[in-house]
Amino acid sequence: MKAARENWLDDQDDLDPECPIFIDESGLSTKMARLRGWAPKGERCRAAIPHGHWKTTTFVGGFTLAGFVAPMLLDGPMDGESFLAWVEQMLAPTLRLGDIVIMDNLAAHKVAGVRQAIMVRFQRAPLIRTRQLTVLSTFGVNPAAAFNRA
């Protein structure tokens, strides 16, 4: 693993910036209330907060040099089932040979079937785990080598 990580770092100079697809999500909850606010000196800061009608919305997408791929707005929090459905139905069809899918260690990213959904597109993709990222390459080689598509 250490050697693979060192090779990845050494080969980054040769990376084609159009290959990586960074997967990320962002959420918003109406349950969040301000902890601080502004009020005239000597007056109490008052603000409305929702009570009992909380809602969570999540945005997920792939970020590439060219922009977003497979954007999706989810009515609720991201879980493994939702993430797998997004990968199978929205992300996988956009993948090209040589793309490298990079995602963080969110528990939803680790559910059974995510790796296979990406692999099925091109028959083979190795998985390399680092401390913080999971890298899936649509080439059957070291992800850094996939950047050298030219």
Give pLDDT, residue 144. Answer: 46
Specify whether the CB–CB gap between 3 and 35 falls below 8 A: no
Give pLDDT, residue 48. Answer: 79
In this predicted structure, the answer to whether residue 92 has a pLDDT above a threshold of 50 is yes
Separation between Cα atoms, residue 114 and residue 108, nearest integer Å: 9
In this predicted structure, the answer to whether residue 31 has a pLDDT above a threshold of 90 is no
Q: What mean pLDDT is reported for the chain?
A: 80
Separation between Cα atoms, residue 93 and residue 122, nearest integer Å: 11
Q: Average of pLDDT values for 118-141?
A: 57
In this predicted structure, the answer to whether residue 41 has a pLDDT above a threshold of 70 is yes
Q: Average of pLDDT values for 88-100?
A: 88
Rounded to 5°, the CA angle 134-138-144 comes to 65
Please give the DSSP secondary-structure letter assigned to residue 65.
T
Give pLDDT, residue 83. Answer: 96
In this predicted structure, the answer to whether residue 124 has a pLDDT above a threshold of 90 is no
The number of beta carbons lying within 10 Å of the beta carbon of residue 83 is 27
In this predicted structure, the answer to whether residue 60 has a pLDDT above a threshold of 70 is yes
Q: Which residues contact 78 (CB under 8 A, 6 or more apart)?
A: 25, 27, 58, 60, 106, 108
Q: Average of pLDDT values for 140-148?
A: 45
Separation between Cα atoms, residue 139 and residue 124, nearest integer Å: 7
Q: What is the largest CA-CA distance in the chain?
A: 67
Put simply, whether the predicted model's pTM sits higher than 0.75 gets the answer: no
In this predicted structure, the answer to whether residue 145 has a pLDDT above a threshold of 60 is no
Residue that wins the pLDDT comparison between 79 and 11: 79
In this predicted structure, the answer to whether residue 39 has a pLDDT above a threshold of 80 is yes
In this predicted structure, the answer to whether residue 66 has a pLDDT above a threshold of 50 is yes
Separation between Cα atoms, residue 137 and residue 98, nearest integer Å: 7
